[in-house]
């Protein structure tokens, strides 16, 4: 079972402000890897993260497994989140994510370019790979 903690919420929701933006790794359907910073990551609910995607989310739709890294070197705090991405180009989930991001001060224009991506957390690991939480037993990752 996944239960994102208050500590995770505190760190991740303020990652950009604290100079510790999350890094997300993806792979295209053909296996081509990619990684980049995501400055608008928030804890969306007890089992999900979310952010605004301004690029083309096609790779996420074709190959939704992603890894999100968070590390605060000053405190030694960090996690690796293995997630399944869900792209929401419009509708109530898109509107809800954009509203959360706007309220958190991470975006100024909730009606602007981009779409919402919800990352359903499948596993939470230490930065060294020790599994702390997982959605189901014997998860195939």
Would you say residue 121 lies in a domain? yes
What is the DSSP annotation of 21-79?
-EEEEEE-TT--EEEEEETT-EEEETTEEEEEE-S-THHHHHS-EEEEEEEETTTTEEE
Rounded to an integer, what distance in angstroms lies between the CA atom of residue 121 and that of residue 5?
Answer: 12
The domain of 37 spans: 6-128
What percent of the chain has pLDDT above 70?
A: 100
Whether the predicted pLDDT of 140 surpasses 80: no
Would you say residue 102 lies in a domain? yes
pTM above 0.95, yes or no: no
CATH number for the domain harbouring residue 108 = 2.30.110.10
**20-39 confidence digits (pLDDT tens):** 999 999 999 899 999 999 98
Would you say residue 36 lies in a domain? yes
Q: How many residues does the structure list for the chain?
A: 141
Instruction: Provide the number of structural domains found in the chain.
Output: 1
Of 109 and 89, more confident: 89
For residue 20, give Cα distances in angstroms to 7, 23, 39, 66. 15, 9, 9, 19
Six-digit token string for 25: 């790794």
Q: Once rounded to an integer, what is the mean pLDDT over residues 71-88? A: 96
**105-114 confidence digits (pLDDT tens):** 888 877 778 8
Strand partners, 69: 23, 80
Would you say residue 116 lies in a domain? yes
Specify the pLDDT at position 107. 84
Would you say residue 139 lies in a domain? no
Specify the pLDDT at position 141. 74
Specify the pLDDT at position 49. 98
**Mean pLDDT score of the chain, rounded to an integer?**
93
Would you say residue 133 lies in a domain? no
């Amino acid at each position: 079972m996944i239960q994102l903690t208050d500590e995770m919420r505190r760190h991740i929701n303020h990652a950009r402000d604290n100079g510790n933006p999350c890094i997300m790794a993806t792979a295209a359907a053909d296996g081509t890897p990619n990684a980049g910073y995501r400055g608008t990551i928030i804890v969306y609910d007890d089992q999900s993260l979310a952010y605004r995607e301004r690029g083309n989310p096609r790779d996420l739709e074709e190959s939704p497994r992603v890894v999100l890294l968070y590390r605060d070197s000053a405190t030694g705090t960090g996690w690796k989140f293995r997630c399944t991405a869900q792209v929401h180009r419009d509708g109530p989930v898109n509107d809800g994510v954009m509203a959360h991001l706007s309220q958190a001060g991470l975006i100024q224009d909730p009606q602007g370019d981009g779409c919402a991506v919800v990352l359903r957390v499948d596993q939470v690991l230490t930065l060294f790979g020790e599994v702390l939480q997982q959605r189901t037993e014997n998860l195939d990752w």
